[in-house]
Chain A
Amino acid sequence: MSAPELFFYGAGALAVVSALGMVLNVRNTVAAAMSLVVTMIALAVVYVVLEAHLVAALQIMVYAGAIVVVFLFVVMLLNLRSDAFAPPRQRLLKAAGAALSVGIAAAFLSLVPASLPTMRDVPDGFGGYRAVGAELFTRFVLPFEITSLLILAAVVGAVVLAKRRLD
């Protein structure tokens, strides 16, 4: 097994395990957020294997560096009691839910078509900031500009929501 494949399957397994850790961790929200960071970093490794270098860097910066930090900030601000979300013990229901989840997962994975296009060779610099930036500021310049409107709306909305009293 070559090095890229090793990284892909290792990071993919790590992403799945840490995502399960996030979803199944019922008691500690901070630990769930930390599991989410591990998932994001593992996905960044997968992106590097898939030659998406700029996306991988942005994944680390925006997801692991900003979004999860905001999550942690809110969790610590609210100072949640760690046992407030523990579900009542329903072993039979849990087992049935787990079995159903595995069944749905198997059905879902069987939907992945068997004949997807094979990976073709890509030129040097594919997915780097130069190639992606050239596309972003030529063909995709209108969506890029509209994104700034979205960010403005989100900033205004977040401030209005978090303000204690609207004047």
Chain B
Amino acid sequence: MIPLEHVIGLSAILFLIGTVGALTRRNLIVILMSIELMLNAANLAFVGFSRAWGEHDGHLFVLMVIVVAACEVAVGLGIVIALFRNRETVNVEDVSLLKW
């Protein structure tokens, strides 16, 4: 039997890797992929707790998160393509007009 702490620990590590990627990378596509990784880490925590309590609620949350992730990718990559069409770049440092 796998202890729940190890599942949550794995989830935390993956979430941190995703956070580091979203904060440090310059390629907009890789930033989106890092956000996907963070969503997956949250899914892993949901599945782990669902297994521990023997209820299906976590699985259903995961299904919703997967749908949200798919929608996010569709819209996000649409934005990336629109950005590339207008500015010929997907580097976030070239599109920092709104940055404070």
Chain B positions 1-28 with a Cβ under 8 Å from a chain A Cβ: 1-10, 12-14, 16-18, 20-21, 24-27
B95 is an interface residue with CB less than 8 A from chain A? no
Tell me whether B68 and A108 are in contact (CB under 8 A).
no
Q: How far is the CA of A12 from the CA of B13 in the complex (A)?
A: 10
A99 is an interface residue with CB less than 8 A from chain B? no
Contacts of B4 in A (CB 8 A): 116-119
Contact with A along B61-74 (1 / 0, CB 8 A): 01110111111111
The answer to whether residues A120 and B2 also contact, given A16-B14, A29-B30, A58-B66 and a CB cut-off of 8 A, is no
Tell me whether A150 and B16 are in contact (CB under 8 A).
no
Classify chain A's interface size. 35 or more
Tell me whether A71 and B73 are in contact (CB under 8 A).
yes
B2, B17, B56, B80: the one within 8 Å of A135 (CB): B56
Contacts of B48 in A (CB 8 A): 50
Q: How far is the CA of A33 from the CA of B32 in the complex (A)?
A: 11
The answer to whether residues A85 and B25 also contact, given A36-B33, A67-B70, A112-B12 and a CB cut-off of 8 A, is yes
Tell me whether A22 and B37 are in contact (CB under 8 A).
yes
Tell me whether B77 and A19 are in contact (CB under 8 A).
no
B14, B16, B85: the one within 8 Å of A104 (CB): B16
A-B contact pairs, 26 of them (CB 8 A): A8-B6, A22-B30, A22-B33, A23-B21, A23-B34, A49-B2, A50-B47, A52-B59, A59-B43, A62-B69, A71-B33, A80-B90, A87-B26, A104-B16, A105-B13, A114-B5, A117-B4, A119-B2, A120-B53, A132-B56, A132-B60, A135-B56, A147-B64, A150-B71, A161-B81, A162-B82
Residues of B within 8 A of A (CB): 1-10, 12-14, 16-18, 20-21, 24-27, 29-30, 32-34, 36-37, 40, 43-44, 47-48, 50-54, 56-57, 59-60, 62-64, 66-75, 77-82, 84-85, 90-91
